[in-house]
């Protein structure tokens, strides 16, 4: 990337969100930031970089970090891990918990909420009767707002959902399909930075940390996983994405002996 502002912007974004942007991502960065640059009248990445030390810098950096997040998601993306949680992990935790105590599940980097709602559907279809608190978080305030609204286009609901699931768990409206109220009551969404202080989130029985570690360098992965493990119940489980691994990380987790992508405290 020839624009000298790239390095400074990439470093600032990495410090806030953990996203690792290599020099070959300059074209991608410029495209992602184009609407912000146009709105603010900034013609180059160098001009953007010069704004970062100003009083407006923190707000601008937040906008830059949100613009560079990848929000690719769908209902029942990688369906096997969700089924494993609903049919194996949660029943085991349910049997070990005191009656009446809710199970808390964290969908980290939840994007627009499809993962959290998919898990709520999977658990209901698996016959789970335990009270659930499904907590979805994302760095992007725009994505969190969409998740809270629970309104999805016809394309989004048809991508990953069977027609019977759509008709059972959604209500058609003029603007699309809205998640049915019983599922929405189980799910709560907040803006959370995975590199921040996570202690206020409380303890979780299951953490879905899927398809986010791939965007981080090794030290950032270790920091994020360590922070998530600190919020995990002693007998809880962490679920990673299909292409993700903890190889090279010093974290107190061991793979589940029979479930792919599921890790437990070592």
| Domains present along the chain, CATH in parentheses | 5-67 (1.10.155), 79-265 (3.40.50.150)
Percent of the chain with pLDDT over 70: 99
**Residue 50: pLDDT band by 50, 70, 90 thresholds?**
very high
Residues 201, 227: Cα–Cα separation, whole Å: 11
Residues 149, 241: Cα–Cα separation, whole Å: 25
Residues 13, 28: Cα–Cα separation, whole Å: 14
Q: How far is CA 125 from the centre of its chain?
A: 23
Query: With the CA atoms of 135, 136, 139 and 144 taken in that order, what torsion angle do they form, in degrees rounded to the nearest 10?
Result: -120
Confirm if 194 and 212 have CB atoms less than 8 A apart.
Answer: yes
- Strands of 142-261 (E only): list them: 151-152, 170-173, 176-179, 187-191, 204-209, 232-240, 253-255
Based on DSSP, count helices (H) and strands (E) in the chain, helices before strands.
Answer: 12, 10
Q: What is the pLDDT of residues 113-139, one digit of tens each?
A: 999 999 999 999 999 999 999 999 999
Sign of CA dihedral 117, 263, 193, 61: negative
- pLDDT above 80: residue 75: yes
Residues 148, 57: Cα–Cα separation, whole Å: 28
Q: What is the pLDDT of residues 207-266, one digit of tens each?
A: 999 999 998 999 999 999 999 999 999 999 999 998 898 989 999 999 999 999 999 998
Residues 235, 92: Cα–Cα separation, whole Å: 10
Residues 86, 94: Cα–Cα separation, whole Å: 11
Q: Which residues pair with 126 in a beta bridge?
A: none
Q: What confidence score (pLDDT) does residue 242 get? A: 85
Question: Residue 211: which residues within 8 A CB-CB, separation 6 or more?
Answer: 72, 77, 109, 241, 243, 244
């Amino acid at each position: 990337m020839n624009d000298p502002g790239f390095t400074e912007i990439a470093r600032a974004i990495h410090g806030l969100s953990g996203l690792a942007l290599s020099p070959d991502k300059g074209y991608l960065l410029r495209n992602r930031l184009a609407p912000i640059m146009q709105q603010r009248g900034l013609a180059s990445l160098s001009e953007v970089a010069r704004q970062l030390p100003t009083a407006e810098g923190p707000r601008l950096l937040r906008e830059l970090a949100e613009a560079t997040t990848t929000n690719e998601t769908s209902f029942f993306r990688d369906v096997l891990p969700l089924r494993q949680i609903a049919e194996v992990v949660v029943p085991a935790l349910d049997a070990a918990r005191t009656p009446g105590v809710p199970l808390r599940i964290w969908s980290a980097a939840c994007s627009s909420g499809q993962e959290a709602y998919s898990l709520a559907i999977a658990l209901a279809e698996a016959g789970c009767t335990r009270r659930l608190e499904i907590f979805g978080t994302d760095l992007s305030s725009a994505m969190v707002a969409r998740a809270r609204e629970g309104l999805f286009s016809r394309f989004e609901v048809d991508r990953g959902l069977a027609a019977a699931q759509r008709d059972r768990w959604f209500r058609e409206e003029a603007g699309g399909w809205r998640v049915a109220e019983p599922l929405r009551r189980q799910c709560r969404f907040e803006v959370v930075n995975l590199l921040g202080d996570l202690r206020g989130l409380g303890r979780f029985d299951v953490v879905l940390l899927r398809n986010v570690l791939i965007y981080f360098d090794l030290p950032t992965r270790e920091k994020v996983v360590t922070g998530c493990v600190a919020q995990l119940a002693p007998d809880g489980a962490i679920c990673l994405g299909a292409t993700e691994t903890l190889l090279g990380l010093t974290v107190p987790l061991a793979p589940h002996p029979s479930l792919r992508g599921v890790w437990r405290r070592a």
